[in-house]
Amino acid sequence: QVQLVESGGGLVQRGGSLRLSCVASGLAMNSYVMRWFRQAPGQEREWVATINPDEGTRIGTAAMKGRAVISRDNTKNTVYLQIKNLEPEDTAIYFCAAAAASGDTVYWGKGIMVTVSA
């Protein structure tokens, strides 16, 4: 019973900030590569960020470099995505995903909506 549950979304004003969290259960997150994706209305899903078990990180959206930070707390089995200086273009459903480094199985959360007002 693997489950990923995102939280922390909602309506944010332009220029504001938020912190998304994803709590994993049914897996040992400390051994998983964790990622955030997002899908804007009418758009394809895109990769946002990755954090490895050794806490090495990658930001996949050029426009978010300098604005987004991905982190993890293995004691809480939680991965975070902090975004500052939000723009309306950041409006999307944000998903977290977990992948074991040794396998091709990926677990997905249901997603959480982030809406940035102009």
Query: 103 falls in which pLDDT band (50, 70, 90)?
Result: confident
Query: 63 falls in which pLDDT band (50, 70, 90)?
Result: confident
- Nearest CA to 89 out of 21, 50, 43 is that of 43
Q: Which residues of 56-65 are buried (b: 16+ CB within 10 A; e: fewer)?
A: eeebbbeebe
Q: Which tens digit of pLDDT belongs to each residue from 84-96?
A: 999 999 999 999 9
Q: Is the pLDDT confidence value at 16 over 80?
A: yes
pLDDT score at 61: 82
